[in-house]
Each structure stands twice: as C-alpha cells, then as structure tokens.
Amino acid sequence: MTQSTVIPFYGTDIPNDAVINTCVHCGLCLSACPTYRETGLEQFSPRGRIYLMKAVSDGRIGIESDVFQEQMSACLNCRACEAVCPSGVQYGQILESARTQIHNAKVDGTLPPYTASTTAIRSVVFGQLFAKMSLFRAFSRLLWLYQKTGLQWLARKSGIVKALGLAEQEAILPPMSNTFMVPRDQVYPAIGTPKARVALLSGCIMSTAFAHVHSATIRVLQRNGITVVVPRNQGCCGALHAHGGELDSARNLAKQNIEAFGASYDAVIVNAAGCGSTLKEYGHLLHDDTAWADRAAAFSATVRDISEYIAALDVNTADLKPLPMTVTYQEPCHLAHAQRITAQPRALLKKIPGLTLIEMAESSLCCGSAGIYNVTQPELAGQLGNRKITNTMRTNASVVVTANPGCHLQLAGGLRANGSAMKVLHIAEVLDMSYRGAPA
C-alpha cells in the first residue's frame, strides 16, 4: 500500500458499526469527559472520537490518520461518557477495538511499526510482566530492593531518574513490601455463622504493592461471615492488555482466570476497580468464542466489587468501633462509570462510628492515572492529577479514600509533591481499621 492509501478497519476486532451509529452526537458527554474539559477541543471528546471512528468505517479517512491514532491514544477510557449517555453507547468497547486495529496494523506492517523502544516496552509490559505473575513478583522484589538498599535515593540524588525522563513516573512508585499475596488455594474461614464462600482476585499490583489491602479485605469479609478462598493459577485480569489494544492477549488471560476460579463460589470478589470492570466484561470479551462465551458470561455474573458485595449484605455494624477521623472519597472511574457503583462506598463509610465524610468537588472526574496513561500521555495526566489533588486538599480531610491502585498511586504521589500529610487508604482498610479498633 502506498502512503496515500486509505487503510480501513480490517481483520478481527473491528469497532462495531451498530455501537458507533448509536451515538446521536447530542454532546451530553462533553462535560463528563476529562480530556475535553482540559482542552476544550472537539476531537478530545467522546463525540469527536466516535466521529473519527465513523469516518474510518465510512472510508473517509483511514487508520493511518495521525489525528485518529492520536485521539485513540489520548482517551483515558474512563467511561464517564457511558455513565451520562442517553443513547447507551458502549464507548469502551469500540475504543478498545480501535486501539487493537492500530496495534495489529503496526505489528503486521500495514502501518509503520512502533519505535524500537516502544516495541521493547510493550513486549516487556504486556508480553512478560503482566502475563506471567512469577515475573511480576520478581520485578516487584527488585523494586523493593531498589527502595530498601538506598538505590532509589541515589538515583534521585544523582539526577539519573530525571535524565531518563522518568522523574514523574518514578515519584509515584508505592513503598514496596516483600510480603506478597501469592494465590495458593488459601482458605480464610468466616467468623461466626458462615453466610457464603467467595473467591478473591489476587491480581498483579494488588497482590504485591497492595498485599496489605488484600489482608484487610479478607478480614472485613470474615467479620461479615464470609469464607474467603484465594484460588491458585489465577493471573492478571487483562485490563491493561484490553485498554492497550491487545485484545487477543486479554482473552488468553480471561480464559486462564475463568479456568482458575471454576464455578464453586458464591461470588468472585475484587478490590481494584479497573480489574473488577474487566472481569465483569469477560462475557463481552469472549462473546465470539463459542467454546468460552457461556462460561465467560456465567463467570462475569458472579463478579462483585468489595464495596458492592459488603453493602448488599446485612452488614455487621455491631463490631464496628469508633474511628474519629475526617475523610473524603475519590471515585475510581471504573467503579463509578464502568460499574456504576457510587452509593455503596459512601454508605459503608457512613456506617463507621465517629467518621466524618466530606465530599470533594469533581469526585468522579478522572485523576489521570488510567493504567499507563502517566507514561503515554504525561502532560494530560499531570494536568488531571493536579486538578484532582487541588480538589482533594480543599476538603481539609485527613484521609482520602479510594478503591483502585492506579488512583491510589496518583493521589499519594500528588499529595507528597504538594507537601500534604493527607493519607490515602483503600475503603477496605478503613473498614478493617474500624473492626480492629485501630487508631485513626
């Protein structure tokens, strides 16, 4: 093909015309879209991006278009547009398909390939670290050593991190522990009369940097009469692969998890919003695979976010002890918009004696984390991060509560950079503190 050739969507994972044409271009999504609110430019809106997808579908432009590729990358995939769309456009589905079109075309030579550095990064991130949990845990231990041995201090002091252009990304690394939650079919029995038996998704970063959140989640479930199992052979949920245009890899990970969890649990519990929304969409991800479609749909129907699941129970409030602190709640996009879970976390926080909840402005507006968005779109990620930190600090709360690791890292890094002593805690940690009578 010559460079002037219009390259259409082709092969598999073509953005669905029926979904594209559901958009009536009413513009109600504009005010909900973080990138549109930051730029004020139509192409940075969901409506503008859908218009570009339709232009490719109609043959007016091709996937080689610079603006098409730019906008498919610039979108946060926060799904805020879906939550306000009166036509019910499944925007996330067509965005991921469009990104997969671009990725596949770069790999098969239809489009100019990724740069050597991007190819290497994608190979390591998608092909190794987030595909093989043993490698991910080994990498996490290296990060722990990097922090524990003083190499982090040296790298920052010497200016190496800044020289490599990684200062902002390195600054949000979480304090690593060497204690991980490795899934080995562990069973944590219910306290009191057993009500249900659930499985816990261990995941990637949640099982390493945030293993303490898993421990808190398990204790909260136990306090509510739930037996928790951590099934072996589970792996990454596939969210980063799906969002990054590697849908085939995401499908392989989905199959691995469906196989690992089986069908013997009352629910599959997730405490990371991005992972939860992906697991709930395995049914769509595998809907064209006749061997897996029904199993995937049945699996997705069992997935529950921890706040969603606990709120639906007759919550054990008798054992909740006073927790005298003021908190504000930051809504992870894939909890609020993709899963439409907004009331439950607040309701749980309000059940804790002595706790005061203060609402922040724009609580559900994306913080700019969005998986690897900090790396791919550092300028927009920084702008959105600063906006979120400003709104967070204006509450004067002592703690900001969230429910997703990417949001946690973005918030913690931004608060440190602004000299704030405000803590960032997962909602499961706050509930666990109250059950244990831990000091605020």
Give the pLDDT score at 80: 97
Give the pLDDT score at 218: 98
Work out the pLDDT band at 150, boundaries 50, 70, 90.
confident
Q: Which amino acid is residue 46, in one-letter code?
A: P
Candidate from 146-150, 285-289, 341-345, 352-356 with smallest mean pLDDT = 146-150
pLDDT in tens, 216-257: 999 999 999 999 999 999 999 999 999 999 999 999 999 999
Work out the pLDDT band at 378, boundaries 50, 70, 90.
confident
- Contact assessment for residue 286 and residue 296, using Cβ atoms and an 8 Å cutoff: yes
- Contact assessment for residue 236 and residue 253, using Cβ atoms and an 8 Å cutoff: yes
Q: Which domains does the chain have, with CATH numbers?
A: 17-108 (1.10.1060.10), 319-436 (3.40.50.11810)
Give the pLDDT score at 9: 97
Give the pLDDT score at 418: 94
Report which of residues 169 and 178 the model is more confident about.
178
Q: Average pLDDT of 105-126?
A: 92
Give the pLDDT score at 155: 83
**Which pair of structure tokens corresponds to residue 180?**
């991980």
Q: SS3 helix, strand, coil % of the chain, rounded to 5? A: 50, 10, 40
Give the pLDDT score at 4: 59
CA torsion 386→391→396→402, rounded to 10°?
A: -90
pLDDT in tens, 404-431: 999 999 999 999 999 999 999 999 999 9
- Chain-centre distance for alpha carbon 257: 17
SS3 139: helix
pLDDT in tens, 297-306: 999 999 999 9
The pLDDT of residue 384 is above 80: yes
Report which of residues 134 and 163 the model is more confident about.
134
> How far is the C-alpha of 98 from the C-alpha of 77, rounded, in Å?
12
Give the pLDDT score at 224: 98
Work out the pLDDT band at 264, boundaries 50, 70, 90.
confident
Give the pLDDT score at 171: 76
**Which pair of structure tokens corresponds to residue 43?**
């192409």
Q: Is 11 left (phi over 0), alpha (psi -120 to 50) or beta?
A: left
> How far is the C-alpha of 411 from the C-alpha of 425, rounded, in Å?
10
Task: Give the count of beta carbons closer than 10 Å to the beta carbon of residue 437.
Answer: 11
> How far is the C-alpha of 145 from the C-alpha of 132, rounded, in Å?
20
> How far is the C-alpha of 380 from the C-alpha of 385, rounded, in Å?
8
What mean pLDDT value characterizes the chain?
A: 93
**Which pair of structure tokens corresponds to residue 240?**
């980063």
Closest to 306 measured CA to CA, from 194, 390, 387, 213: 213
pLDDT in tens, 75-115: 999 999 999 999 999 999 999 999 999 999 999 999 999 99
Q: For 42, how many CA atoms within 13 A lie in the half-sphere containing its CB? A: 8
The string of DSSP letters for 301-317 reads TTEEEHHHHHHHS----
pLDDT in tens, 359-377: 999 999 999 887 777 777 8
Work out the pLDDT band at 400, boundaries 50, 70, 90.
very high
Give the pLDDT score at 440: 65
Work out the pLDDT band at 164, boundaries 50, 70, 90.
confident
Give the pLDDT score at 160: 85
Give the pLDDT score at 390: 97
Output the CA–CA distances (angstroms, integers) from residue 330 to 157, 279, 363, 425, in the order listed.
32, 22, 5, 10
Q: Average pLDDT of 267-289?
A: 97
The string of DSSP letters for 267-303 reads EEEE--HHHHHHHTTHHHHTTT-TTTHHHHHHHHTTE
Q: Tokens 């479609």 correspond to what residue?
A: 293
Give the pLDDT score at 2: 44
Q: Average pLDDT of 274-293?
A: 97
> How far is the C-alpha of 243 from the C-alpha of 240, rounded, in Å?
5
Pairing of strands 267-270, 326-329: unpaired
